[in-house]
Amino acid sequence: MTVSSGHDAAVKRATAALETYTLSGDGWRRSPSETLQHVLADLLHWCDDTQRDFDAALERARARYAGESP
């Protein structure tokens, strides 16, 4: 299976965001899995404060992902 350049770009953006969120000069402050959990929890808080529907956004993101997947 060939991975599309769009997929590669998306993975690079996600990696950069997670690294920016949790990397220190000494390396990862927590595991990548824990980091993802913290980012998602913070996004849930952000959605509450800005009156955004996290579940609806996640559903749309999953649909976008399905449309982008080979």
Q: What b/e readout covers 19-47, taking b as 16+ CB neighbours within 10 angstroms? A: eeebeeeeeeeeeeeebeeeeeeeeeeeb
Determine the 3-state secondary structure of 57 from DSSP.
helix
Query: pLDDT (tens digit, 9 = 90+) per residue, 9-58?
Result: 999 999 888 888 777 666 667 777 888 888 899 999 999 999 999 999 99
**Per-residue confidence (pLDDT) for residue 3, from 0 to 100:** 57
**Per-residue confidence (pLDDT) for residue 31, from 0 to 100:** 78
Q: Of 17, 10, 63, whose CA–CA distance to 39 is shortest?
A: 17
